[in-house]
Amino acid sequence: MCLGIPGRVVAIADVDNQLGIIDVCGVRRQVNLACVIDEAHPLQSCVGAWVLVHVGFAMSRIDEEEARLTLELLQQLGEAQSELDAMREVDPRTLEEPPPPVNDGVGAGAGAGAGAGAGAGTREHDIHSTGL
């Protein structure tokens, strides 16, 4: 009951009682819009808006700009971390380490009967390792 579900307001159903129709993944339902309207956001302005619905009431408009900013921040954090990882990779000590022979071994073993397939597999494995 505490977990809301995001839906999009598609129509106003009853102006007097502030009811609208929302679409949640193709399912439509009547909801009360009283908590998402005020002077700056009249009832008609709800159509097209994304709202969070709890037990038949739209309780909040979903701020798309804020959602984008949050994701952007996480993206930046990821980029900063990859940059740090890249810096670590040029550490001279890592250059001294012998190239991992394990991949070749696995590739050769698995690819006994299928040469090209084994090559692709090895490359995927490499990408996966650096990704971590």
Partner 1 sequence: MRFADEFRDPHKARVLVNEIARLAAPLAAARRRPLQIMEVCGGHTHTIFRYGLKTLLPEDSIEFVHGPGCPVCVLPMGRVDDCIALARNPAIIFTTFGDAMRVPGSQGSLLQAKANGADVRMVYSPLDALRIARLNPQREVVFFALGFETTMPSTALTVLQAQLEGIGNFSLFCNHITIIPTMQAILDSPDLRLDGFLGPGHVSMVIGNRPYDFIAERYRRPIVVAGFEPLDLLQSLWMVVKQLAEGRCEVENQYTRIVSETGNAAALAAVNRVFELREFFEWRGLGSIDQSGVRMREEFAALDAEIKFGVPNIKIADPASCQCGEVLKGVIKPRQCKVFGTACTPEKPLGALMVSSEGACSAYYQYGRIDVKDRRPTPTTPA
Question: Which residues in this chain contact partner 1 in the complex, by CB under 8 A?
Answer: 1-4, 6, 8, 17, 25, 32, 34-38, 50, 52, 54-57, 59-60, 62-64, 66-67, 69-71, 73-75, 77-78, 81, 132
Nearer to partner 1, 17 or 123 (CB): 17
Nearer to partner 1, 31 or 118 (CB): 31
Minimal distance, residue 102 CB to partner 1, in Å: 22
Minimal distance, residue 93 CB to partner 1, in Å: 20
What does the chain look like in DSSP terms, one character per residue? ----EEEEEEEEEETTTTEEEEEETTEEEEEE-GGG--SSS-GGGGTT-EEEEETTEEEEE--HHHHHHHHHHHHHHHHHHHHHHHHHHT-HHHHHSPP-HHHHHHHHHHTTS-HHHHHHHHHHHHHHHHH-
Nearer to partner 1, 10 or 52 (CB): 52
Minimal distance, residue 39 CB to partner 1, in Å: 11
